[in-house]
Amino acid sequence: MTSTPAVAPTHSLRFAANCSMLFTELPLLERPGAAKAAGFDAIELWWPWPDQSVPADPSVDAFVSAVRDAGVRLIGLNFFGGDLTGPDCGVLSVPSRSQEFRDNVAVTIGIGEQLGASVFNALYGNRVDEVSSAEQDDLAAENLGMAADAARRIGATVLVESVSGPKPYPLRTAADSVAVVERVRADGHTDIDFLLDLYHLASNGDDLDAAIAASAAVTGHVQIADAPGRGAPGSGAIDLDRHLRALQDLGYAGWVGLEYKPTTTTIESLAWLPVDRRGAPTP
């Protein structure tokens, strides 16, 4: 199998390896080291314990040590969101599970404080039948405000993301998530931004050019995968390089998380990205 030649991106944004999607050939605690060996200086992850909002201290300590020992920075971490590969897609707007999110905030922020994380993704949660959409939105705003205040204490930011797929997740377009961000900010909680995931927005039929132009000012983090298929850049139809360049031209200077599903080994799937573009830029 011939790999696609590496072509340097035309923007200068930094890439971080999402170790919940990449390097999954390895156990979780070995992935940070594998990312470093592949040339990355930064990683991000979904919540590592999908069945535990508050894992045991030894599990947390082992995770923190694995990242530190690898010599990479954890730039982003999801709050607990339940089983993302199963029925769940966040819990903070679900009344019966809201306490799980609240219990998790201190743990997540604590991990981030130790490892230098600057953004924390708070998945909104699916619609449920027990209460009205308005009640769920009120609960979400309350919980997001609480999380944003906690993140502010360490100089970090909470993120709100639009997601694709068949689950009854209410935030589908960039405008949906930006509206939530603006509501929470209006309540006095300023440390909350939009997570702009180009794969999810494209999969939902959002106009990427319009979404980027409208949301760049409140975009706190970016993630990419190609669509359709959620594969590596170049495997689908999104001109990811052009869209990232547009974001940079509009003032975005943060990290870009590689949150795609390799169809081969992770290393082979990275052939599109030159090794010298995987680390942080030279000062």
Residue 249 CB burial class (10 angstroms; 0-12, 13-18, ≥19) = exposed
Q: What whole-number distance in Å separates Cα of residue 276 and Cα of residue 55?
A: 36
Q: What whole-number distance in Å separates Cα of residue 277 and Cα of residue 283?
A: 14
Q: What whole-number distance in Å separates Cα of residue 20 and Cα of residue 43?
A: 10
Going through 162-228 in order, the beta strands assigned E by DSSP cover 192-197, 219-224
CB 255 within 8 A of CB 14: yes
**Catalytic residue IDs:** 161, 259
> Which residue in 219, 258, 251, 266 sits closest to 11, CA to CA?
251
